[in-house]
Chains A and B, each alone.
Chain A
Amino acid sequence: ETGVTQSPTHLIKTRGQQVTLRCSSQSGHNTVSWYQQALGQGPQFIFQYYREEENGRGNFPPRFSGLQFPNYSSELNVNALELDDSALYLCASSSPPGVNTEAFFGQGTRLTVV
């Protein structure tokens, strides 16, 4: 186990609703990244948080937003859910940007939008 925990593990939402996903990073890691993995595809980078600020963002619209807390845990918020938002959302924790280490992933939250 990596020590990265995500909640909830599964979630069903209706189109147009809002959702919040949570992630606790591995001990000693102060950087959290979020990825979206659609069925049958590789994970796509959403954004990264370091020192409670967004530190890089992928090609995702503003309705995808996040937070990082002083204990380095993080939230991913998605507003105005669309059917295409159905995916596995993965959180990864790592050392600060620029430090050459690997990212450790949680088990993911599987979001279904109906």
Chain B
Amino acid sequence: AQKVTQAQTEISVVEKEDVTLDCVYETRDTTYYLFWYKQPPSGELVFLIRRNSFDEQNEISGRYSWNFQKSTSSFNFTITASQVVDSAVYFCALRGNAGNMLTFGGGTRLMVKP
């Protein structure tokens, strides 16, 4: 069975603060894929990043960065210098080696205040 846990249900920060969203996963697959999606109030899930289990290199994209640590089964997401437009619900998701089914965490609601 696969499981994704996002322990932080809600985070509130002031604009320009850095914020890290935690994600811990469980899987028995040796090859798997991790994702982060952003869900604004409109409802659509916006793809942010995909990471393969055999690639532990961290990634930076503008103000976004991701820290993948296989030893602790974590795939954390950091937003640097947060902005009001970053306010949304963020989901971490896992896909195993077979099929395209995504297992989502419960999400973290991020509120960035001006």
B residues 25-68 near A (Cβ < 8 Å) are 33, 35, 37, 42-47, 50, 52
Q: How far is the CB of B45 from chain A (nearest CB, A)?
A: 4
> How does the 8 Å CB contact mask read for B73-114 relative to A, with 1 for contact and 0 for none?
000000000000000000101000011111111110000000
In the bound complex, CA of A35 to CA of B44 (Å): 12
> How does the 8 Å CB contact mask read for A3-47 relative to B, with 1 for contact and 0 for none?
000000000000000000000000000010101000001111100
In the bound complex, CA of A20 to CA of B91 (Å): 27
- Interface size, chain A (Cβ < 8 Å): 29
Q: Are B100 and A97 in contact (CB under 8 A)?
A: yes
Q: Are A42 and B91 in contact (CB under 8 A)?
A: yes
Q: How far is the CB of B30 from chain A (nearest CB, A)?
A: 15
* B-chain residues with CB within 8 Å of residue A48 when the two chains form the complex: 99-101
Q: How far is the CB of A106 from chain B (nearest CB, A)?
A: 7
Whether A103 contacts B44 in the complex (CB less than 8 A), given A42-B91, A43-B91, comes out as no
Q: Are B101 and A102 in contact (CB under 8 A)?
A: no
In the bound complex, CA of A59 to CA of B83 (Å): 38
Q: How far is the CB of A92 from chain B (nearest CB, A)?
A: 8
* B-chain residues with CB within 8 Å of residue A94 when the two chains form the complex: 100
In the bound complex, CA of A56 to CA of B103 (Å): 13
Whether A106 contacts B44 in the complex (CB less than 8 A), given A41-B106, A41-B107, A42-B106, comes out as yes
Chain A residues in the interface with B (C-beta under 8 A): 2, 31, 33, 35, 41-45, 48, 55-56, 58, 88, 90, 92, 94, 97-98, 100-108, 110
Known: A56-B101, A105-B47; 5 extra A-B contacts, CB below 8 A, are A90-B43, A94-B100, A97-B100, A104-B47, A107-B42
